[in-house]
Amino acid sequence: MTVTLNDTLEVKRDIRHYDFGLPFWQATRQKKLIIQYCKTARKYQHFPRPVSIFTGRRRDIEWREVSGKGTVFSFTIAYRGTPAFQGAEPYAIASVTLDVGVNLIAGVVNCTAEELKVGMKVKPYWHPLANGEHLLMWQPDKDAA
Amino acid sequence: MSLRDNAIVAYAETKVMKKSDRDVWVLAGEILETLLDKTGFDKAEIDGLVMSGLTGTGGASMFWAQSTCDMLGLEVGFCEQVHTGGCSAVGAVARAAAAIDAGLCDVALCLYADTHVREHNGRNDRNYRRDWTEPYGLLGPPGAFGLLQRAYDAKYGVDLRALGKLAVTQRNHALMNDNACEELRVPITIEDYLNSRMIADPIRLLDCVMLADGAAGLIVTSRKRAKEKGLHKCVIPLGYAERTNFLGGENLVDVTRSGHEIAGNRALAAAGLDIRDIRSFHPYDDFLIAIVIQFEAFGFCKPGQGMAFVRDTDLSYKGTLPMNTGGGQISAGQAACSSHNLIEGVRQLMGEAGERQVKDIANALVTGIGWINYGRNWGSSAALALAPNQ
């Protein structure tokens, strides 16, 4: 069964942000991936929160740039899209475990259904948005060992 | 006073409809009327209203429970809306009992009425979805359970025929349930399950619950009041527990584990029951894989053994562990604020389940699953152990 996956790059996206997550989106303008880090727990967390989920304190949070390299933890192939994505099916969405130990869910591009496997190495693909930000997506990291 | 000093003295349920032909408050009125008729309580004696917050129709109103009091002419000392998603049905029973124990009310109506197909006003995007899943087109529950089922498959392995067996067992129960959604009362086979179209690979159509309209309700009061009223056939809540945001203070977690570990242990301990004592199981079913994960979390089997447990266990109404004997939500329709499995548990314990009645039923364990979190499994887990009045 050969399934061609849609990269969904043509889908119009109008993303509304929370103020406490803005640093993430600002960094995407330079195609940088920054993740919240708790200085007390010495652990990363994603998605962005207003406090450290480990200590409950705002002051423990800082943002750190990470490589974005990771491993597919799980994935699903959408055969029925959300309203904005209808007509773009099938497309893949993967939950990826970054090397720093957070799972980050994003769409998958430049990948066939046959290639996509749990355990596959991936790296960021930055999809430009109309407002100058970039949307993080995943693509196979063919150079990874 | 404690949970078990209270009693469910009556239940009511409309037929599940693919789309309601009447307003949600008409359905609520039908439930109220049936419950008053069944119990002999006067309307003025109902002094507590506990509603489910899992309502598409009421989802846009900040005053849903109060305006329902207004519509139904109820004057109450305790007015509550439970916001634990699909745990709200069992959560309402526990909150009603707690309010009665605390002296806030004496006779509580737990009301589960929703017409989310006919009129959906609710929103569910003021959370992580806005930034973190909607930009990728992850389709709500099926997408999230697609990620969950594949993660389960990678860790333990999924047996699709075992999932198909769950689908068929529940469908056979719905065929015996006149209140199940008529459109779903069509026999299916394991092959039908395997061949059903993909929605969010690996989630197939027959893995999924279907939204439907309907209403249900319960009357909860103290055992003392029930006895005074001559209501001898009742169901006793023996133990209840819930857990919201299980491992929420950790970042990377095992997504095959859920808050049912904690809720199950606590509810069973309060009930004085071991999981091996459970004679009927009514697990929340939005997707079939959720049932398998619950078998493991509650300790019916070890982690990773859920598929084998399904293969080896007769889960029909006449089996060793009768499960979702009304069809479950997947084969009866996700209606009435997801109270279907709770109402069925109560009906079974009152001995009123007709041709699907479980023989010698000593108890029922009813569960809840509520909301979906980011890349894990679900936000709330609940368990309610019930037994007939001795």
Instruction: State the SS3 of A51-64.
Output: CCCCCCCCCCEEEE
Q: Is the pLDDT of residue A1 over 70?
A: no
User: What six digits make up the tokens of B223?
Assistant: 């055992």
Question: Does some domain include residue A134?
Answer: yes
Residues B250-295 have pLDDT tens digits of: 999 999 999 999 999 999 999 999 999 999 999 999 999 999 999 9
Amino acid B195: pLDDT: 98
Mean pLDDT score, A44-66: 98
- Give the domain extent around A50: 19-66
% of chain B residues with pLDDT over 70: 99
Question: Does some domain include residue A27?
Answer: yes
Same domain, A60 and A76: no
Same domain, A98 and A60: no
Same domain, A117 and A140: yes
Same domain, A33 and A47: yes
Residues B194-230 have pLDDT tens digits of: 999 999 999 999 999 999 999 999 999 999 999 999 9
Domain count, chain A: 2
| Residues of chain A found within 8 Å of residue B203, distances taken between Cβ atoms | 76
Omega cis (within 30) before B202: yes
pTM for this predicted structure:
0.98
Which of the four pLDDT bands, split at 50, 70 and 90, describes residue B170?
A: very high
User: In angstroms, rounded to a whole number, what is the distance separating the alpha carbons of residues B232 and B158?
Assistant: 45
Q: Residue ranges of the alpha helices (H) in chain A?
A: 22-28
Decide if A82 and B199 are in contact by the 8 Å CB cutoff: no
Decide if A82 and B138 are in contact by the 8 Å CB cutoff: yes
Question: Does some domain include residue A10?
Answer: no
Amino acid A3: pLDDT: 85
> B332, B340 in Cβ contact below 8 A?
yes
Which of the four pLDDT bands, split at 50, 70 and 90, describes residue A145?
A: low
Which of the four pLDDT bands, split at 50, 70 and 90, describes residue B336?
A: very high
Q: Is the pLDDT of residue B1 over 90?
A: no
Question: Does some domain include residue A11?
Answer: no
Question: Does some domain include residue A106?
Answer: yes
Looking at chain B, which residue has its C-alpha nearest residue A38? B251
Looking at chain B, which residue has its C-alpha nearest residue A17? B131
Looking at chain A, which residue has its C-alpha nearest residue B128? A47
Min CA distance, A85 vs chain B (Å)? 6
Q: Which residues of B touch A (CB under 8 A)?
A: 128, 130-140, 142-143, 146-148, 150-151, 154, 197-203, 248-252, 255, 374-375
Q: Which of residues 18-77 of A touch B (CB under 8 A)?
A: 18, 21, 25, 43-47, 53-54, 73-77
DSSP β-bridge partners for residue B49: B79, B109
Where would I find the beta strands (DSSP E) of chain A? 33-38, 43-45, 61-66, 70-78, 91-98, 103-107, 121-128, 134-140
Residue A88 in contact with partner chain B when CB distance is under 8 A: yes
Same domain, A123 and A135: yes
Same domain, A112 and A82: yes
| Residues of chain B found within 8 Å of residue A105, distances taken between Cβ atoms | 132-133, 136, 138, 147, 374-375
The ipTM assigned to this model is 0.98
Whole-number CA gyration radius for chain B: 19
Which amino acid is residue B340, in one-letter code? Answer: H
Q: Is the pLDDT of residue B234 over 90?
A: yes
Looking at chain B, which residue has its C-alpha nearest residue A44? B251
Residues B64-100 have pLDDT tens digits of: 999 999 999 999 999 999 999 999 999 999 999 999 9
Same domain, A27 and A84: no
Amino acid B123: pLDDT: 87
Which of B135, B154, B198 lies nearest to residue A135, judging by beta carbons?
A: B135
Question: Does some domain include residue A49?
Answer: yes
Looking at chain B, which residue has its C-alpha nearest residue A78? B200
Amino acid A144: pLDDT: 85
Q: Is the pLDDT of residue B125 over 90?
A: no
CATH number, domain with residue A71: 2.40.50
Interface test with A, best of B131, B134, B136, B205 (most A CBs within 10 A): B136
Q: What does residue B186 show for φ and ψ, rounded to 5 degrees?
A: -125, 130
Decide if A76 and B150 are in contact by the 8 Å CB cutoff: yes
Residues B24-69 have pLDDT tens digits of: 999 999 999 999 999 999 999 999 999 999 999 999 899 999 999 9
Same domain, A27 and A56: yes
Same domain, A61 and A76: no
Residues B337-355 have pLDDT tens digits of: 999 999 999 999 999 999 9
Using the structure block, give the residue that is written with the tokens 């009645």.
B357
Amino acid A2: pLDDT: 75
Q: Cβ–Cβ contacts within 10 Å for residue A14, how many?
A: 10
Amino acid B278: pLDDT: 98
> B366, B240 in Cβ contact below 8 A?
no
Counting one residue from chain A and one from chain B, the pairs whose CB atoms sit within 8 A come to: 117
> A3, B117 in Cβ contact below 8 A?
no
Which of A54, A102, A107 lies nearest to residue B249, judging by beta carbons?
A: A54
Decide if B250 and A53 are in contact by the 8 Å CB cutoff: yes
Amino acid A20: pLDDT: 98
Mean pLDDT score, B368-386: 97
Q: What is the mean pLDDT of chain A?
A: 97
Q: Cβ–Cβ contacts within 10 Å for residue B333, how many?
A: 28
> A13, A135 in Cβ contact below 8 A?
yes
Decide if A15 and B131 are in contact by the 8 Å CB cutoff: yes
Q: Which CATH architecture has domain B3-122+211-228?
A: 3-Layer(aba) Sandwich (3.40)
Amino acid A12: pLDDT: 95
Looking at chain B, which residue has its C-alpha nearest residue A137? B136
